[in-house]
Amino acid sequence: MDTTQLLKGVLDLAVLAVLRDEDGYGYDILRRLRAAGLDEVGDASVYGTLRRLFQSGFLTTYVVPSEEGPHRKYYSLNAAGRDQLNRSTKVWREFASTMDTLLDDRGMAA
């Protein structure tokens, strides 16, 4: 199965989840997603997702000076973003449960 197609559908949720407990800048968020096991996530996809989530009102940003190069734009989950994370988490869990049931019924689950 091509996991890149699955990833496209859940990247918003993954980014919101990564920002739940700690703000982050673009590369840091990408690194955390990969460390969590989403190895195939692309740089451009993450940066595009951050822009889209910000424009949708789910994230706030602030700039932190860096001694090792250009300033870094940090992203933070705001109240609307936390609400979206909660809604999306519920949808994901219901969907995953449905798929687990479907696969179990067909005798294909591990």
pLDDT tens for each residue of 50-92: 999 999 999 999 999 988 888 999 999 999 999 999 999 999 9
CA angle 4, 89, 92 (to 5 degrees): 50
- Paired residues of 73 in beta bridges: 63
pLDDT recorded at residue 4: 75
pLDDT recorded at residue 53: 98
Specify burial of residue 52 (Cβ count, 10 A radius: 0-12, 13-18, 19+).
middle
Question: pLDDT higher for 8 or 32?
Answer: 32
What's this model's pTM, rounded to 2 decimal places? 0.87
Q: Is the pLDDT of residue 107 over 60?
A: no
Q: How confident is the model at residue 1 (pLDDT cuts 50, 70, 90)?
A: low
Specify burial of residue 79 (Cβ count, 10 A radius: 0-12, 13-18, 19+).
exposed
Q: What is the mean pLDDT of the chain?
A: 91
pLDDT recorded at residue 108: 54
How far is the C-alpha of 109 from the C-alpha of 107, rounded, in Å?
6
